[in-house]
Copies of this chain bind each other. A is one copy, B any other.
Amino acid sequence: MAQTADKRVERSKAAVLFETYRQLTQGGISGVSIDEVSRVSGVSKTTIYRHWPSRSALLIDACSRLGNAHQAPDTGTLRGDLHALAMNLAEQLQTAAWASVYPSIIDAAERDPEIAAMQCELHKGFMAPFHAIAERAKTRGEMPLGKPATDLIAAIVGPLFYRRWFSKEAIDDRFTEAIIEAAIKLALRQEHG
């Protein structure tokens, strides 16, 4: 009996998350309506709020399914690793569902501290492979130990994000490769003095 009830709960939760995720990828965070989630999933609002205490809590749960963690490549050189990561990111920005949802999270994070904390975690997950390859480049002596990996990350990820969401220009291989070269020069440069 308890098992059957557990299964029913799991099924309800899955239906709610599925519909929330669908609305999220279609209309961004502001496009998610709990009334509509309840109607489509057939799960009452009372039950929804029993599992997720607030709209933000449900959104956070759905958003956490947006990005799948990426393994850090290990090609043996910083250039090779950056190339693999940047090409993959460029591809995803132009095809993956999360790319059209992420601006709505960034927007909500400007005003909602719960969403801001969730965005911070999502961002950390997205950037983990970059930190991993920078660490290895430092261990190999390829990158100066005192150089912050975050500068390198900003110099690669920033221009790609900018093209996808702000200038809406094409992200072709020529562009991505030029950005990688510039970022490597930044990463390997010794500080003055």
Chain A interface residues (CB < 8 Å from chain B): 27-28, 30-31, 100, 103-104, 106-107, 110-111, 120, 123, 127, 150-151, 153-155, 157-163, 165-169, 175, 178-179, 181-183, 185-186, 189
Contacts and interface: CB of A to CB of B under 8 A. Distances in A.
28 contacts: A28-B110, A100-B111, A104-B107, A104-B110, A106-B106, A106-B166, A107-B107, A120-B168, A123-B167, A150-B167, A151-B179, A154-B162, A154-B167, A154-B175, A155-B159, A155-B182, A157-B162, A158-B158, A158-B160, A158-B161, A158-B162, A159-B159, A161-B166, A178-B186, A179-B186, A181-B186, A181-B189, A182-B183
Contacts of A186: 178-179, 181-182
Copies of this chain in the oligomer: 2
